[in-house]
Amino acid sequence: MKKPFTFLVLLFSLLMLVSCSNQTLYIKEKDVVVTEKKDIPVSFLPQEMSIVSVGDSLTQGVGDSTGKGGYVPYLQDLLEETKGVNKADFVNYGVRGNRSDQLLKRIKTEEVSKAIQKADGVIITIGGNDIMKVVRNNFTNLQVESFNEQLNEYENNLYEILSNVRTNNSNAVIILVGVYNPFIKMFSDIKEMNQIVTDWNNTSEKVLAEYDHTYFVSIESIFENPTSDLLYEDYFHPNDQGYKLIAEAIYNKMLTAPLADILENLQTEEN
């Protein structure tokens, strides 16, 4: 392990401890069999859909100057401009600092469970704070190997999260947004962190492959240019433009199949 990795991550972690009151980090795409665009039948009448967004600060929208919920309002606008969609109602259960174990507890609450039961789609952002937990707990001697145990825990939690969603709703489309490397702006030369983020995303794709009607949205590439102006002033969370690009990535993935699946389910229910 190169010493600069430990030193630079230590420095960045201390900066984050000062700038963030909660634990936060945000950061392959699983080929979900259907990769080509699935056209929305012209016979579909415009439908109203319900989407539940759950997860961490990417869902809550930390760094969003509008205070409207990060990527959510941008995605809502894109969907409501789409053929076949009359209205897209979002319920936002994003909580800054949530790790996968905390999200697992939250989706089991009565409020969130009931919302998921009624949802046509569930969008999840999780995993970044699981990575940051390792950074904070091991910053004096951080090694790549330090992340392995937490990655296994994240994998098990993600299985439980998806199983719980499926228990509550067997038909809803599930979309998981990947993590990105938040160190890229200040410490673009830390190559080890790039690999850790990739490992996390690959694990997410592997878990999703075990469930039907699930889709992975990669956002790594959005933030990989250290000179791009897509991060909030904490150099950690996305800014408005960053959230807009995340929304576009989710929307583009939805156009490959999820959106048509949702509308088809709604059409079937209506008939």
Average pLDDT value for the chain: 84
In order of 43, 198, 249, the CA distances from 243 in angstroms are 33, 20, 10
The whole-number average pLDDT for the span 125-148 is: 86
The whole-number average pLDDT for the span 192-199 is: 89
**Token representation of residue 125:** 């952002």
Characterise 30 by phi-psi region: left (phi > 0), alpha (psi -120 to 50), beta (else): beta
Does position 216 have pLDDT exceeding 70, yes or no?
Answer: yes
Domain extent listing, the chain:
3-35+42-270
Does position 79 have pLDDT exceeding 80, yes or no?
Answer: yes
pTM of the model: 0.84
Stronger pLDDT, 78 or 232, i.e. the higher one: 78
Alpha-carbon distance of 71 to 125, in angstroms, equals 11
Buried residues in 160-170 as b, exposed as e (16+ CB within 10 A): ebbebbbebbe
Lowest mean pLDDT among 37-46, 65-74, 102-111, 174-183: 37-46
Query: Quick one: pLDDT at residue 185?
Result: 64
Alpha-carbon distance of 196 to 184, in angstroms, equals 13
Alpha-carbon distance of 191 to 235, in angstroms, equals 18
Q: Read off the pLDDT band of 3 (50, 70, 90).
A: very low
Q: Read off the pLDDT band of 26 (50, 70, 90).
A: very low
Query: Quick one: pLDDT at residue 189?
Result: 61
**Token representation of residue 174:** 């599930």
At residue 20, the 3 state secondary structure works out as coil
- Residue 6: beta bridge partners? none
The whole-number average pLDDT for the span 21-43 is: 45
The whole-number average pLDDT for the span 151-164 is: 98
Query: Quick one: pLDDT at residue 239?
Result: 93
CATH of 3-35+42-270, one of 3.40.50.300, 3.50.50.60, 3.20.20.10, 3.40.50.1110: 3.40.50.1110
Does position 117 have pLDDT exceeding 90, yes or no?
Answer: yes
Query: Quick one: pLDDT at residue 108?
Result: 97
Query: Quick one: pLDDT at residue 53?
Result: 98
Query: Quick one: pLDDT at residue 266?
Result: 85
**Which DSSP helix (H) or strand (E) runs through 163?**
helix 146-168
Burial class, 207, CB count within 10 angstroms (exposed 0-12 / middle 13-18 / buried 19+): buried
Alpha-carbon distance of 90 to 121, in angstroms, equals 10
* DSSP summary character for residue 30: -
Is beta strand 47-55 parallel, antiparallel or unpaired with respect to 214-217? unpaired
**Token representation of residue 143:** 């090694």
Tens-place pLDDT, residues 86-100 = 999 999 999 999 999
Radius of gyration of the chain (CA): 18
Alpha-carbon distance of 97 to 115, in angstroms, equals 21
